[in-house]
Structure 1
Amino acid sequence: MYPTLFTFFDYPVPAYFTLLIIGFSAATFLGARVAKRGGHDPDTIIDLGLFSLIMGVLGARVLHVFADGFFMQYVYQCVDPTQVAWPMPEAECLAIEGWRWNAELNGCAPLERDCFAWAKFWQGGLAYYGGLIAASAFGIWFLKHDKYPVLKGVDIAGMGIPLGLFFGRMGCFLGGCCFGVVSDSPWALVFPPGSSASREQHEHGLLASVNMESLPVVPAQLFEAIGCLAIAAFTMLWLRPRKRFDGQLMLVFLVLYAFLRFGLEYVRADDRGDFGWFTTSQWISLVIVAFCAVAWPRLRAHAVSLMAAPAAAGPEAAPEAPTTDGHAPDTSEPSKPPAADA
């Protein structure tokens, strides 16, 4: 755990947000290169990456506020701060200007009302799926507005998002959030006193004090980071040269990540919110798999119809027929295969 990478002019630079920016930058750089090699404007992808970062953070924050189990804390911060009890060590709470220790509720509370606490994402609290949904909806609109081939742009995102997620989950590990359940496995890790894992275990009676090292826990953040890196490598290096239709890379990423996330939710111990049998993220994972099951045959059929249309129009239209991967051949240099463009 290393929540602060370094101090810049007395301002602590958080590891999580630093790696989040690195992840978005890596995904955007990859997307711009793929777009350029495919004969498309890379500036569109760069613009999309910048705006998606903003929309992703907003969406992730909104889902956190409503679905991670802290909604009433934000409400109380606006209407009655005496009812607020954010979990953190007492010493850490007392070191924050404008906050006090609420001994009755065993948590930290602000001295004054703050009706905009829910919007202060830099204080922590982001839910990934909210960011994915918001950024995806905006991205589709942006690509249409910019007259960029939507499904090709979506496929670029299908390679870039898991790469960005790898860095994001490494940031989670350094920040100490998204930790796993108590475990005696050989790969279990211990987090330092005052960490999120220590606070959670103290609240459940597993530790006598939050100022103790946590019990060994499953490194869920590292498992997800490794899984996302594997998905990124699979979509970029193996699937992309073999894809059969535009949109396939994104669908494969969504399904693989949904299964990964659904399973990892069972070994996570941080507050995430739950509804009935499953957590919020597990329900969203199920919806994503169902969506992909419906979208896959539709996009495949769309690609087949594109290939069939020129043949039906006559031999003179045949050179314009898409190849089996959904791309049109390069008629200016018929002897050379076209560059793959995601």
Structure 2
Amino acid sequence: MKGKNGMHPILFKIGPITIGTYGVFVSLGVFLEIVVGRYLSRKEGIDPEALTDFYIYSIIMGFIGAKLALIITDFKEFSAHPFEYLFQNIRYFGAFYGGFIVAVLFAIFFIRRKRLSFLKVADITSVSLPLAQAIGRWGCFFAGCCYGAPTDLPWGLVFPAVPLCSDGTRIHPWPFYEFLLDISIFAFLFNFFPKRRFSGQSFIFYLLFYAVGRFLLEFLRGDEIRGLYFNKSVSLSQILAIAVILGVISLYLFLLKKNKNEENE
């Protein structure tokens, strides 16, 4: 069913119950993330039940963080329509990096409390998370959010309710681009997981690959709700991506040195 928020925001209806396409894809992504995470946790000697609890709580905290990040970047719109912003319109779902930061902070607390290995859990999550992201981006695609900038490329699409498409202008299918990025990261890290040299290496690669890919893809975005700065030339996601890249380089050098010292002992 086509609607005002995108191509097919509503998957189907059963009486008064509406099943949104976005919610279905996000739920599917979360389910598969947990399945993959449990599979890898057994290989790492981590209790699958503890990891499942960690995933569920982290996802909840991630949703809250994503919403807070979007409110901060678009406070004017939030002030005008707070209820719709928080609970109704799918395009107000949230900003990934905000959710990721809050989820990581919660992860540190949860993992310490459960006495789990932070780096092992981070490695497992780094494999399963991009799979969830990849599937979730199809929800964005059908909901019509996170849309791209105008393009003359033959695969450009017209989204019914996107302002840029009001005159028939074609735009980049941006969610599909990130799907390709995320599924590629998942495929690489899933195969790399048993080959990693030290705990935390998959985590580092995920952060680096996603940050670089997201930084580049942001140039093809067309929506301004995500927060634009410096005369609208740089998005909040790009600023955070640069910070992540710098942090990842430092973390990689630290863990590499730590691993070499342990091997020499």
Please say if residues 155 and 249 of structure 1, whose CA atoms lie closer than 8 Å, have aligned partners that are also in contact: yes
Query: Per-residue CA shift, 1:190-249, capped at 9, x if unaligned?
Result: 222xx2x2x2455xxxx3xxxxxx421111110110110000000111x21321111110
Shift of 1:123: 4.8
Letter in 1 for 2:184: A
Structure 1 unmatched runs, 5+: 78-113, 208-213, 310-342
- Within 5 Å, give how 1:109-120 maps onto structure 2: 118-120=85-87
Q: How does 1:91-110 map to 2 (within 5 A)?
A: none
User: Of the candidates 161, 164, 181, which is equivalent to residue 149 of structure 2?
Assistant: 181
Structure showing the higher helix proportion among its residues: 2
Cross-structure match for 1:19: 25
- Following superposition, which runs of at least 4 residues in structure 1 exceed 6 angstroms of deviation? none
**In terms of Rg, which structure is larger?**
1
TM-score (norm 1): 0.71
Contact 1:159/1:235 (<8 A) preserved: yes
Alignment partner of 1:242 is 2:178? no
Q: Tell me which amino acid in the other structure corresponds to 2:222.
A: A
Provide the residue aligned with 2:125 in structure 1.
Answer: 157
18, 34, 38: which one aligns with 2:40: 34
Paired amino acid for 2:127: M
Q: How does 1:208-227 map to 2 (within 5 A)?
A: 214-227=168-181
* C-alpha distance in structure 1 between counterparts of 2:209 and 2:58, whole Å: 22
Could you tell me whether the CA contact under 8 Å between 1:19 and 1:167 is conserved in 2? yes
- Aligned residue type for 1:264: L
Normalised to the residue count of structure 2, the TM-score between the two structures is 0.91
2:57 maps to 51
Out of 65, 74, 92, the residue aligned to residue 78 of structure 2 is: 74
- How far has the Cα of 1:37 moved from its partner? 2.3
- Alignment match of 1:251 (pick from 201, 204, 209): 204
Provide the residue aligned with 1:109 in structure 2. none
Name the CA distance, whole Å, in 2 between partners of 1:141 and 1:305: 27
Look up the equivalent residue of 1:72 and give its one-letter code: K
Q: Structure 1 residue aligned with 2:182, among 202, 208, 228?
A: 228
Do the aligned residues in 1 keep the contact of 2:148 with 2:173 (CA within 8 Å)?
Answer: yes
Q: What do you get for the CA RMSD once the two structures are aligned?
A: 1.7
Retained in 2: the 8 A contact 1:244–1:300?
A: no
Note if contact 1:59-1:133 (Cα within 8 Å) is conserved in structure 2: yes
Where does residue 127 of structure 1 map in the other structure?
Answer: 95
Distance 2:78 2:169 in 1: 30
Counterpart of 2:159 in structure 1 is 191
User: What is the Cα deviation at residue 43 of structure 1?
Assistant: 0.6
1:260 aligns with 2:213: yes
Partner letter of residue 34 of structure 1?
A: L
Deviation of residue 151 (structure 1)? 0.4
Higher relative CO (Cα under 8 Å, sequence separation at least 6) belongs to: 2
- Pair 181,76 (structure 1): closer, same or farther in 2 beyond 3 Å: closer
Q: Is the 1:163–1:228 Cα contact (8 Å) retained in structure 2?
A: yes
Deviations 1:266-305 (A, max 9, x none): 1110122112141100001000000101100111122222
The equivalent position to 2:236 in structure 1, one of 280, 290, 293, is 280
Describe how 1:252-331 pairs up with structure 2 within 5 A: 252-271=205-224, 272-276=226-230, 277-309=233-265
Q: Give the C-alpha shift of residue 121 in structure 1.
A: 6.5
Cα distance in structure 1, aligned partners of 2:137 and 2:35 = 19
* Unaligned stretches of 5+ residues in structure 2: 1-6
Identity across matched positions, percent: 29
Deviations 1:63-84 (A, max 9, x none): 11111xx31122244xxxxxxx
Structure 1 residues 182 and 258: alpha-carbon distance in aligned structure 2, compared to 1, 3 A threshold = same
Aligned residues: 255
